[in-house]
A and B are shown apart, each in its own frame.
Chain A
């Protein structure tokens, strides 16, 4: 039986999100990570050799998953059909909104894992390294789309506000509260 987590997207939104599987998300995310690596190389230095590890990110409420090798300017992100049977050094599984919250620091990864809001498997050392690098990166939504200045601030404000609303709507764990 499939594992279910608190804070998953409602069924209607999942259906609406289904065509995302046909978009060139992989190349777009690859470009975004590489662009970020050029702007903030220290984040990837922090990962050291763990940058060559593969991380499979599986939103439990979507039918796609992401395979990422965060190797700085040689980083690679692939968008996969969930049932592709892909293996990786580390697998992280949880609701999309919670996974996004891990990236921008809304949630503490340790707390989410220990409270079972997400599930992880594979190499714990690689996961710890990635978690610490993300913690220091102070990522914002604008970093993902490469927006800077006033436009960057606008992107951050709208995306963070939108995600906050969506989390409340889906019943995601509240940051800072035991879930």
Chain B
């Protein structure tokens, strides 16, 4: 059981656009179930499923919905995070393209469960080509009363619209997203108060990932037990992963938690291209950790990855072969972050400036002991003192690379001296 179809059940069962076809394929039964059984039953189901947010932070979704429900305000928002800014991640795009109605259904459910009446789908700017299709799907749902006043004759109202993202990675972060929707430049705010308390327009806002929403629908439809049939005790269910890099069949796959990295690469993605040897993978996006080939038997679960210093993150897996230099790879990662940092806080703004200098010298072979010492300091400050998750998690690839390839982060002399001691 390598690839499964729990969340992606309806992929290719209909064209992904036609509301009637979605209904015929069993669409909106989760919403109807919610209207029949009430929010509490549905929240209990989500709790029982053990679903954790798929946007990267892995916060228990049931708990998150309950917290959102507890916020008291006349206006509250649900925002579907479809910013999908992590490099190597393109699974939300598939969900929007091949089954947009399930995302909308998830939004209506999240809205009703949290007593919010307004929803926004924040779609990555680069996905412009899909904006019209999403808008027309929303219009269809309005027409048939899946959205709007008194959803399906119930007392609940729910409005939904699309917001086109501002094209920066940091806008995927909750506060930056709110700022961006308010027409400001997407720069994170300090917490607390949290987004759930004072988000968009300083009103309670639930920011939830596209995949999380789609998964909720499937869980309600089929029950928490059928979700838990997949995965491990601590990582129940299935996950969409995006594989790219030096593999034969890059793409999006739904997998049960617990496969090993090697199985994913060999059995799903068709192995390394041109029969080359694997070198390392980066898991979870640009802010994800580096795992060397010798550890590819690690299982893809929250708990096993954590032990190795990594996390599931966005679900991206980028595969590098023997031809890829890790240092060159990290330089590209650094370039990405330096380009994307919003520049608000010192650790990330100035840290990225220094990383640029240091990586320039590390990759051209002129780095000195002082550069490696400064690298330590910069990573320490960024990881611990940055204002938002972007700066904080940027250090992960470098830290894990240091852990598994320590010889690359010291001068030849230091390395020789260390080896002599051993």
- Are A and B bound to each other? no
